[in-house]
Amino acid sequence: MKGKEEIIIEDHEAFGALIERVPGWLDRPIEHLVKMHAVGSVYVATHRAILGKIKSGQIVLAEEDRRVRLKEGQVVGEALLDVEAKIGQLLPSSEEAEHGMVETSTGRARYQRPEGITHRRAQAARAIASHPETVAAVKQEAIDNEDIPTKTAVLTRIKLDKAKAARAAYKPGGTEEERKEIKEIVAQGEAATYLSKLHSIVIMLSASVPKDGWTEASFAEAQAMVAIIRKRLEDWK
């Protein structure tokens, strides 16, 4: 077994791998991939926040500079999805992990999740790995919408697709268990859509309200929209 010192990867090396993506760049120990994803995620979160402020006019950049920023974020965002899919491929199946035993080159052994991989994270990685067409669609959608592709967007799309399929497959008169399963899938799709919209709002809005630049009409319109948002969020109290 490799010692811990043999699987350490420095932050700059992890980020460089995401940017350069040389042939075979994903053929690494899962510990490297987890570190690469962690480093890249911080970069993308910061980049998306900056792009949100550019879109809302809080930051003004020349068009060429804006496009460079956007492209940089898209490159890393796409790389992170590839990394997450690779992690999902390397992880044992959920059944194997649940039973605590996995096949190795020397026989069966007790399974231990890699550091940084929770049960929920493992489920997400497997889902991304098993839906390459959804990953490709999210990447293209991000390019079309001048956005950065994210894991959340892929998982949301997967849930929405399952919800659509469940609606299409619904047949009146099914068993109570079938109706319950379809209802749960549809509900998960609706929740995923809501969460996705919340993400967009948080990224687009600044932490503080602009003090200047308002007209009487625009300020009144903003107040009305804030009142609507507050009303719709009352269920969260």
pLDDT score at 171: 62
Upper half-sphere CA count for residue 163 (Cβ side, 13 Å): 17
Q: Which of 120-124, 185-189, 213-217 has the lowest mean pLDDT?
A: 185-189
Q: How much is the pTM?
A: 0.69
* DSSP string computed for 146-215: T----HHHHHHHHHHHHHHHHHHH--TT--HHHHHHHHHHHHHHHHHHHHHHHHHHHHHS-SS--SSS--
pLDDT score at 108: 65
The ranges assigned to domains in the chain are 1-131, 150-237
DSSP 109: E
Q: Model confidence over 77-129: pLDDT tens digits?
A: 999 999 999 999 998 887 776 666 655 556 666 667 788 888 899 999 999 99
Q: Which of 65-74, 193-202, 220-229 has the highest mean pLDDT?
A: 65-74
Residue, of 55 and 136, whose pLDDT is higher: 136
Residue, of 143 and 234, whose pLDDT is higher: 143
